[in-house]
Amino acid sequence: MKKNKQKFLAKLVKLDAKQKVFLKILVLVFLAILLPLVVLAVLKDKLLTTYNPEVLQAQGSPQASLTLEPEVINPNPGDEFDISILLDTDGETVSAVDALILFDPTSLDFVSAQEGTIEEFLYYPLLGEVSSQDSLNVISLSAIDFNPETSQFSDGYNTSGGNPGLLATLRFRAKDLPQGESFVTTHLSFSFTVSSTTDCNVIQKDTAEDILANVNETNVNILSPSIEASLFLNPTSFALNSREKFEVNILLDTNNEPVSAVDARVLFDPAVLSFVKAEEGTIFSYYPLLGKLSTEDGMSLVSVSAVNFNPQDTSFYDEFTSQAVPGLLATLTFKTKTVTSPTTTTLAFKFTTSLANDSNVVRAVDGGAIDILKVVNQATVSISPLPPSPPLSPPPSPSLMPSPSIIPSASPATPARLIEVIEAESGSLAGAMQKLSDSTASEGEYISPTGSGTATYQFTTPKEAHYFLWMRVNTKNGKTNSFYAKFDSGNRLAVHLPVTHESWRWQKVSLKESLLDFRKSAHLTKGIHLLEISNREENTKLDKLIISDDPGLNPSSVAYLSTSSPLPSPLPSPSPSPSPSLQPNLVLNPGFENGQTPWQSYSDVGGGYGEGLTITNSTSYQGSYSALFYIDASGGNNIQLYQANINAEPNTNYELSFAAKSNTGCDLKADLLKHTELYDNYGLSQEFNLTSSWQIFTTEFTTNYLASSDARFRFWFVGNGQAGDQYFIDQVSLTKIE
């Protein structure tokens, strides 16, 4: 080997000048072409591993982030707005950062750049230098931990254990919209490719490696000032007594813009108001949230969310656009609590412009959605103390009572009430008002308009009074849920109905004649009157009507009565009878004859689980025992008597029946819902008007598509029960109707 090497060197020495030049060229070609290819082949796998974010994350390599904040902003043309650039080093110490931000100069003007608050960055070589890249402009920023003026180095920047640092703040100005456009969506983004050294970089101090792995972008929706939706409460003022219920409507004005979803968050003071219930409005097909209660900074928050998508049939419906008249999003019912001196409180929307987790009105745009809510109002509630009551002699305390109570004496007899029950198909039908068959309708028939048509009914009122109208309706979606109603020769009134998803439901209707007119009654004189129902939307189904001067009427409890003249009030309690379907009772221990099991109770003002419930033999509707539920303190947000593991079938008709009374005539509510979080309602949420005497309450309802075997049936006392109130409950029955 040594001899061969010597021979090779001897030949090299004998080469002439031209041969030596040629040899040098061959060596240079090898070094320039072949050697890099060999090196790349060797390092290929290492390079792919080193600069692949997924591999880096799997190996636990540092992953720094640059973030633009906020991620969504909705300026008007001419508005200036600030964008923050935030740096998260993923626990690593970094010595330098390069940030390049892209924007569209046809939609935005760059105004200025300001240094951030990271003290370890001593110098900004670049701060807001603008260049162009294709059709976009580029803003360049650089920050380092070295100050060339003082030749000082810092220890580098590290976000370990803290929030991301502010690298810089950029200010932009929104340009005018193109002619004829009401909005434009543009983007702010980082120029960034993993492993590239000519764009955004975050340099690790010890290794000088680029550890940037994550960036985001900001959507800028430039909106015409005319895009301005409003949510407002109506009425805006109430003058009430203690323990008085009242309704407030949430109205939506989209200012001619189509909207696909709404979130309404209403704050109230739980010390003076109780939330009772929320009812769907007339403008959306599905309500993911309807009256969900939560707390925030000592206030209570009731939430309503509505969308134009129905998950039951996976259908999208037309977006809502208000024109001359705002739409009814929902109706909230509250009850004032007992106050000892005049008190004023407010109902107010939780709202900050462009904030995502409060009230919002959502308009769909290309590639996403924007919040166009700009205006909200509030309502003022003035509460007066109750007048002093004459002293009452307490009756003997019943056994097993948590504390003595005073039961008021019987009230004087009340005037007779009119309850006129009318089969819809019994009227005089004209035009395209059709009589149709349905085995689930009362007496197997109902009416529905297929075009222009009317149904007219005659009834007699015994006195001059305000009269209320109930309808048993079946509405498929937001396009088949309204009629017109007219009393005598009066104006035609729009009747908007909730979407029942093709099931029959009783609804106490609002009678709407003009803007902000949501009356619940019609003022009629004594004598003969006419009610005319006419088409507003085709295929809305009407089965039955009730006309009464009793605002608290439970239509399900009187719907079996024949059409006639005034009935005595209160109505005699019907004797309990077996369910017509002879189906088994889903409620166990319905008469509390076997103690408390499996009933459970909870009171957040009484001590938690097991509080409030006692089994008593001092009074009962049937048998020897009944349940006594005692409210020992006011102000609770979770007070209930319930039974879990109810097997509720979806889209099924059920009948609920129970006997109840209360010492002060305070009301209660019955619900069927999911036993565990998110506590979805399964189709029953109804309030019942109790007196101090035993009554039987019966109602029919249809479960929704969510119902399952994990249901909870509960009696809910929040919003009605006050300290010292006592509820007596017996003979609870929940049966399926075949």
Q: What pLDDT band is residue 354 in, cutting at 50, 70 and 90?
A: low
Torsion angle (degrees, nearest 10) of CA 320, 326, 327, 331:
150
* pLDDT at res. 326: 86
* pLDDT at res. 580: 35
**Residue 344 has which token pair?**
């004023």
For all residues of the chain together, what is the average pLDDT? 80
Query: Which of 143-157, 231-245, 307-321 comes out lowest in average pLDDT?
Result: 307-321
Q: Strand, coil or helix: what is 443? A: helix
Q: What pLDDT band is residue 283 in, cutting at 50, 70 and 90?
A: confident
CA of residue 610 relative to chain centroid, distance: 31
Q: What is the mean pLDDT of residues 385-400?
A: 52
State percent of the chain over pLDDT 90.
33
Q: Mind listing the domains of the chain with CATH numbers?
A: 64-223 (2.60.40.680), 229-384 (2.60.40.680), 419-558 (2.60.120.260), 600-736 (2.60.120.260)
Q: What pLDDT band is residue 46 in, cutting at 50, 70 and 90?
A: very low
**Whole-number Å distance between alpha carbons of 681 and 668:** 17
Tell which wins on pLDDT, 176 or 2. 176
User: Is the pLDDT reported for residue 609 higher than 50?
Assistant: yes
Q: What pLDDT band is residue 402 in, cutting at 50, 70 and 90?
A: very low
Q: What pLDDT band is residue 8 in, cutting at 50, 70 and 90?
A: very low
Q: Strand, coil or helix: what is 9? A: helix
* pLDDT at res. 672: 94
**Whole-number Å distance between alpha carbons of 124 and 384:** 64
- For tokens 């709404």, the residue is 262
* pLDDT at res. 32: 52
* pLDDT at res. 315: 63
Q: What is the mean pLDDT of residues 525-550?
A: 88
* pLDDT at res. 427: 85
- According to DSSP, the residues that pair with 664 across neighbouring strands are none
* pLDDT at res. 84: 96
Q: What is the mean pLDDT of residues 526-543?
A: 89
User: Is the pLDDT reported for residue 577 higher than 60?
Assistant: no
**Whole-number Å distance between alpha carbons of 512 and 331:** 14
**Whole-number Å distance between alpha carbons of 59 and 271:** 54
User: Is the pLDDT reported for residue 518 higher than 50?
Assistant: no
Q: What is the mean pLDDT of residues 59-79?
A: 86
Q: What is the mean pLDDT of residues 292-298?
A: 81
642, containing H or E segment: strand 639-646
* pLDDT at res. 48: 41
**Is the model's pTM score more than 0.75?**
no
* pLDDT at res. 14: 55
Write out pLDDT tens, residues 113-136: 999 999 999 999 999 999 998 899
- According to DSSP, the residues that pair with 223 across neighbouring strands are 183
* pLDDT at res. 437: 92
Q: What pLDDT band is residue 7 in, cutting at 50, 70 and 90?
A: low
**Residue 403 has which token pair?**
């504390």
DSSP notation for 458-510: EEEESSSEEEEEEEEEE--STTS-EEEEEETTS--EEEE----SSS-EEEEPP
Write out pLDDT tens, residues 130-178: 999 889 999 999 999 988 888 888 889 998 777 899 999 999 999 998 8
Q: What is the mean pLDDT of residues 443-467?
A: 87
Q: What pLDDT band is residue 102 in, cutting at 50, 70 and 90?
A: very high
**Whole-number Å distance between alpha carbons of 450 and 436:** 11
Query: Which of 315-324, 424-433, 517-526, 705-714 comes out lowest in average pLDDT?
Result: 517-526
Query: Which of 103-107, 227-231, 431-435 comes out lowest in average pLDDT?
Result: 227-231
**Whole-number Å distance between alpha carbons of 444 and 685:** 26
Instruction: Check residue 157 and report its DSSP letter.
Output: B
C-alpha pair distances (Å), 268 with each of 273, 294, 300, 592 = 7, 11, 5, 37
Q: What pLDDT band is residue 290 in, cutting at 50, 70 and 90?
A: confident
* pLDDT at res. 521: 67
Q: What is the mean pLDDT of residues 430-446?
A: 90
Tell which wins on pLDDT, 2 or 407. 2
Query: Which of 18-22, 94-98, 492-496 comes out lowest in average pLDDT?
Result: 18-22
Q: What pLDDT band is residue 520 in, cutting at 50, 70 and 90?
A: low
* pLDDT at res. 514: 41
Q: What pLDDT band is residue 558 in, cutting at 50, 70 and 90?
A: low
Provide CB contacts within 8 A for 440, sequence distance 6+.
Answer: 504, 653
User: Is the pLDDT reported for residue 727 higher than 70?
Assistant: yes
**Whole-number Å distance between alpha carbons of 160 and 87:** 12
Tell which wins on pLDDT, 607 or 737. 737
**Whole-number Å distance between alpha carbons of 451 and 453:** 6
